[in-house]
A = this chain, B = another copy of it.
Amino acid sequence: MRLLDEEHIGDIAVGAAILGSGGGSDPYIGLLMAREAIRQYGPIELYTLDELDDDDLIVPAAGMGAPTVIVEKLPAGDDLVRAFHALGKYTGRKPRATMSIESGGMNSIRPIYLAARLGIPVVDCDGMGRAFPEIQMTVLTANGISASPFAMSDERGNVLLIDAVSNQWVEVFARSCVMDMGAVGAIALYAATVKQLKEGAIRGTITLAEEIGNTARNARRREANPIDAIRRAVGGFLAFRGKVTDVDRRVSGGFAKGSARMAGSGRFAGQTLMLYFQNEHLVLRIDGEYVTTTPDLIAALDAETGEPITTEALRYGMRVAVIAFPCAPQWRAPAALKLVCPRYFGYDVDYVPVEERLGE
């Protein structure tokens, strides 16, 4: 167990936004919430799975909806507390701790905020090692952990519980209801024992996010090249560098979908990148050729500062460096891959690991 203070949270937010592959919402909103909570309630305990009892119940907490809307409707936090308590009540067990369901600017921080408010620990693991747009898109699903019971609440105080026959059905009902809520809701889901998570979750993702965020911060402080420092920290590749020339974005069915076009510069001069996203960055094509696809990770970074750019923040004229890096190895097992492969999202291409596409 170690304690997380305000500085740690800042690094986690930045690092998680890079792992979030453009999703999980703007890190600064979650950061403000969590910093305020820590100031009010004190530092948070971060546990590894090995430090907990196998029978302890862990209940992940997150936000759900279109990031475009989440940016416009700052969450108050009570919705998250309500969803978490509703799930605990439904299971009839007291949760020992909370955790992230995904790595992302907002959804890595929201559990920390919740932990501060409720005086419970956070566990150093998550269900994706990145962010994905749909509920069932976790390695937990592939490992037989149920997203049900699923609890959702909104700013008005509405509470929903879903106990569905599959994690895909949870997604169906939750997506309809989050649209009814105004495209943003707070959720608790995938309640699992420590024993289940030891086999089913991706470990150490909070610490990984913190290391990446710390690397980026130190590079800026040393006036070193932050892009290269981040690229090395994530073990990835510089996939592209250039300027955004067009962004096509729409909110559809509860998702922010679209694409961005970029004109290359430096060693990418004359090349055109297409970045396709659905809440998260999913696919990169350069001059029509696939360069990286889901579930490998894509981080669009401000070319100067290295700050991660979420899908909803992409704008015409931005100068961007695009880093691609390997997903958590659990995603490459067939049962997991079929949940998030390019064809699931409608792209007519098979998954090829990014290191085979971009490695030397």
Contacts and interface: CB of A to CB of B under 8 A. Distances in A.
Interface of A: 86, 90, 156-165, 169, 172-173, 176-177, 179-180
A160 B163 contact: yes
A176 B169 contact: no
A165 B156 contact: yes
What copy number does this chain have within its complex?
2
Contacts of A163: 86, 158-161
A154 to B, nearest CB: 9
B169 A177 contact: no
Contacts of A156: 165, 169
A56 B162 CA distance: 27
A159 B173 CA distance: 10
11 contacts: A86-B163, A90-B161, A156-B165, A156-B169, A158-B162, A158-B173, A159-B163, A161-B162, A172-B180, A173-B180, A177-B177
Given A180-B172, A180-B173, A161 B158 contact: no
Contacts of A160: 160-163, 173
Given A158-B173, A172-B180, 18 more contacts: A90-B161, A156-B165, A156-B169, A157-B165, A158-B163, A158-B165, A158-B169, A159-B162, A159-B163, A160-B160, A160-B162, A161-B161, A161-B162, A161-B163, A173-B176, A173-B177, A173-B180, A176-B180
The 7 closest A-B pairs by CB, nearest first: A176-B176, A161-B161, A159-B163, A158-B164, A157-B165, A172-B180, A173-B177
A159 B169 CA distance: 10
Nearest to A164: B158
Contacts of A86: 163
